[in-house]
Amino acid sequence: MEAGETMKIRDAKEDEGPFIREKRINSYKEHAQCIPERHWEALKRSISSDADMNPGVERIVAELDGEILGSVALFPAKTDAYNGHIDALDYPEIRMLAVTPEARGKGVATALISECVRRSKEKGYSSIGLHTGEFMESAQRLYERLGFERLPQFDFEPAGDGIIVKAYRLMFD
């Protein structure tokens, strides 16, 4: 981002769903080379599903000059955000966080996470959670830098291939 440009965080518009899902797949594509094809196919199905259209799910985008740079889905507490892989949790869950490759390192992911935290606090929650593939090392570094703590008891193995999806939670002060 150039000096003076401001990123706008807003709710996604109803008709932006297909476009956001396409951008999401492009954002995650870099991981396809480092995981088995079967796992990539499972991940692709998960991030391109319309689960983010379920009631109560908030779809949020980061936009600059009319262009969507990233998106996230904030699932309400006590919902099955992972198709039965783990029990419903007592706090909201950040899912499908995606930033376009050309916008990485510019604070887009942090801005989207901060918005999810703000909305969750506003609703009276004392924490927020998320899950990320063990191969998504830069994402894990970001979450840990933002104060998220590991919750291994909520990890799961979605494709039965030994690749773990790690659980994190951020407690609010």
pLDDT in tens, the chain (173 residues): 455 578 999 999 989 999 999 999 999 998 888 888 888 888 888 888 888 888 899 999 999 999 999 999 999 998 765 555 556 678 999 999 999 999 999 999 999 999 999 999 999 999 999 999 999 999 999 999 999 999 999 998 877 888 899 999 999 98
User: CA-CA distance, 141 to 41, in Å (whole number)?
Assistant: 25
Q: Which H or E run includes 74?
A: strand 67-75
79: Cβ contacts below 8 Å, ≥ 6 apart: 54, 56, 57, 88, 93
Which residue matches tokens 């193995």? 157
Domains annotated on the chain, with CATH: 8-171 (3.40.630.30)
Q: Indicate the pTM of the whole model.
A: 0.90
Overall size of the chain counted in residues: 173
